[in-house]
Structure 1
Amino acid sequence: MVFLFAIEMKDRIHQHFIINKPFGFISQFVNNKNRKKKLLGELYEFPEGTMSIGRLDAKSEGLLLLTTDGKLSDTICSSKVEKEYYVQVDGEITQKALEDLCKGVEIGFDGKRYVTKSCLTVVLKEAPHFEERSKKIRDERHGKTTWISITINEGKFRQVRKMTAAVGFPTLRLVRVRIGAIYLQGLKPGQVVPVSELNYN
């Protein structure tokens, strides 16, 4: 019986999904803290065993991959695969702040101090054209903002938000736009696309 079960698991055809996670949703299917948060299952009828590959917090938006394949999830979450974010920060970011982000900054993580790994950070020449968020961002009448791109190979809890705050430019809006070779482009908020495989290389 155990042997037959092992064969069935080995031959199982896994399912994968690419979604544009909207603002206000958490990257899970069960709310363990009994809080009124929107769950991924409200967007689509996912098969049993589906898990998110990494997470985006409730305030963050954009590209989220889901799979029933735990090994694939571990691979994509590893430092081998880049994750790119478009980040709107409060203020007109300075060259020094950009350089500090690139070199690595000290943030708090799990009750300890942690220095982020070097990354690629650049100012976007034009503001990206995302659909208006359900909870509006303050406009520039209340001060300038800057859109930057941050590409990292790690994923500590709320890392990008903590990084921009550490250099004096808090995050106002955060959208993940790329995981490896998979891009957000063309997906509307809340849209779920089933795919036969996740071509992240």
Structure 2
Amino acid sequence: MPYRYLLFHKPYNVLCQFTDDQSTAQPRSAPPRSTLKDYISVPAVYPVGRLDYDSEGLLLLTNHGQLQHRLSNPKFQHSRTYWVQVERIPDETALQQLRQGVQIQGYCTRPATVTLLPQEPDLPPRNPPIRFRKSVPTAWLAMTLTEGRNRQVRRMTAAVGFPTLRLVRVKIAHLSLEGLQPGQWRDLTPEELDPLMYLCQLPGKPMGGRSPMPLI
């Protein structure tokens, strides 16, 4: 079977797996939870890493086990960029804390790139929308991490006093969410795949002798 490499825009409230392992534990009156199977018909591909049920954005899927293993290995420290809507407007002190690392569950996060976005990013509306309170402003952050612990972004912003309201992953290394609407997927292009193989120190077909693009 040839290797497949897919980019998927995971919508809000979709499980990052093809089956709902907890479906039998749900009350009978509860509606079934959406899974990747509702959107992707390609057989035998699996997510690289995960996005929480209540998070949105870019997901990479493949049947290339070695690539999946290496991208999940902290040794390779590939970057992941998120747009994060938070409650209230963080000051420079809070932003600097996020950049330097914060304590969550007895662990100090690695240094991160964190900036306050000047305006709300151009994203499709979330369904359902976030809770809105007239008396409490919100702000958007761009956060680039090189680790992916469970609910890490949410725990980081909460630790500095600015709870996350909406979380969208927009980049994995050089791969971008651009051009994909929620629920849409596509295959990686050769120009996208070659730098990914380079990042993971796996053999790949060179792009006409050109050096791989920077992995930012």
Give the TM-score category using the shorter length: 0.7 to 0.9
The offset of 1:74, in angstroms, is 2.1
Q: Which residue of 1 aligns with 2:4?
A: 15
The one of 90, 104, 110 aligned to 2:87: 90
Within the candidate set 147, 157, 178, 1:154 is matched to 147
Counterparts of 1:73 and 1:190, CA distance in 2 = 22
Contact conserved, 1:15 with 1:196, CA < 8 A, in 2? no
Q: Which residue of 2 aligns with 1:184?
A: 177
Alignment of 1:10-159 (within 5 A): 12-34=1-23, 35=26, 36-48=32-44, 50-79=45-74, 80-108=77-105, 113-139=106-132, 141-159=134-152
- In structure 2, distance between residues paired with 1:140 and 1:131: 20
Q: Identical aligned pairs, as a percentage?
A: 37
Mapped partners of 2:37, 2:135: distance in 1: 37
Separation in structure 1 between the aligned mates of residue 48 and residue 7 of structure 2, nearest angstrom? 10
Output the TM-score relative to the length of structure 1: 0.87
TM-score where L is the length of structure 2: 0.81
Q: CA deviation at 1:77?
A: 2.8
Measured against aligned partners, the alpha-carbon deviations of 1:29-75 in whole angstroms (never above 9, x if no partner) come to 12112243211010020212x11011000110000000001111122
2:204 maps to which residue?
none
Q: Distance in 1 between matches of 2:62 and 2:84?
A: 26
Give the distance between the partners of 2:46 and 2:135, measured in 1 at CA.
Answer: 40
* Residue of structure 2 in register with 1:164 after alignment: 157
Deviation at 1:140, TM superposition (A): 5.8
Gapped regions of structure 2 (runs ≥ 5): 27-31, 197-214
* SS state at 1:31 partner: coil
Alignment gaps of 5+ in structure 1: 1-11
Report how far residue 138 of structure 1 moved. 2.9
Distance 2:174 2:97 in 1: 26
Quote the offset at 1:88 in angstroms: 0.3
Determine if contact 1:85/1:149 at 8 Å carries over to the other structure.
yes
Which amino acid in 1 is paired with 2:56? Answer: E
* Higher mean C-alpha deviation, range 74-83 or range 14-23: 74-83
Q: Equivalents in 2 of 1:39, 1:56: separation in Å?
A: 12
Corresponding pairs, count: 185
The residue type equivalent to 2:83 in the other structure is Y
